[in-house]
Amino acid sequence: MLPPPSEVYLDACATAPPAVEVLEAMARAHREAWANPSSLHGHGLAAAERLERDRQALAARLGCGGDELLIVSGGSEAIHAALVGSDGPLEPGRVLLSAVEHPASYAAAAALARRGWDVQLLPVDRRGVVDLEDLQRLLTPPTRLVSVLWGQSEVGTLQPIEAIGALCRQAGVRFHVDAVQVVGHRPVDFSRLPVDLLSCTAHKLQGPRGVGALLVRRGVRLQPLIGGAQEGGRRGGTEPVALVAGFAAALELADRRLAAHGGGDPLASLRDQLLADLRRLEGLRLSGPEPDGPAGRLPHHISLLVDGPEGRPIGGRRLVRELARRGYAVSSGSACASAGAGTAGTSAVLLAMGYDPAEASSGLRISLGPWNSPDDLAGLPAALEQARRGVAVAPG
CB of 113 to ligand PLP, least distance (A): 19
CB of 121 or CB of 336, closer to ligand PLP? 336
Does the active-site annotation cover 336?
yes
For ligand PLP (CB under 6 A), the number of binding residues is 15
Mark the segment that binds ligand PLP (CB under 6 A) among 69-77, 124-132, 314-322, 350-358.
69-77
DSSP per-residue codes, 210-259: T-EEEEE-TT-----SS-SSHHHHTS-S---HHHHHHHHHHHHHHHHHHH
Nearest-CA neighbor of 287 among 268, 269, 274, 306?
A: 306
Reduce the DSSP state of residue 134 to 3 states and report it.
helix
- In sequence order, what are the beta bridge partners of 214? 70, 199
Q: Which is catalytic among the residues 64, 168, 200, 336? A: 336
Mark the segment that binds ligand PLP (CB under 6 A) among 34-42, 68-76, 285-293, 358-366.
68-76
CB of 16 or CB of 46, closer to ligand PLP? 16
Q: Determine how β-strand 284-286 pairs with β-strand 301-306.
A: antiparallel
Mark the segment that binds ligand PLP (CB under 6 A) among 61-69, 174-182, 287-295, 307-315.
174-182
149: contact with ligand PLP by CB under 6 A: yes
336: contact with ligand PLP by CB under 6 A: yes
- List C-alpha distances in Å: 153 to 5, 193, 218, 309: 26, 21, 29, 28
Closest residue (Cβ) to ligand PLP? 75
180: contact with ligand PLP by CB under 6 A: yes
Among 160, 208, 212, 299, binds ligand PLP (CB under 6 A): 212
Among 98, 147, 159, 181, binds ligand PLP (CB under 6 A): 181
- In sequence order, what are the beta bridge partners of 303? 365
Do residues 114 and 107 make contact, with C-beta atoms less than 8 angstroms apart? no
CB of 146 or CB of 149, closer to ligand PLP? 149
Q: Restricting to residues 183-202, name those near ligand PLP by CB under 6 A.
A: 201
Do residues 158 and 65 make contact, with C-beta atoms less than 8 angstroms apart? no
Which residues, including other chains, have CB under 8 Å from residue 2's CB and lie 6 or more apart? Answer: none
241-259 helix and 42-62 helix, angle to the nearest 10 degrees: 30
CB of 78 or CB of 242, closer to ligand PLP? 78
331: contact with ligand PLP by CB under 6 A: no
Catalytic residues: 336
Q: In the complex, which residues of this chain contact ligand PLP (CB under 6 A)?
A: 74-76, 102, 104, 149, 153, 178, 180-181, 201, 203, 212, 334, 336
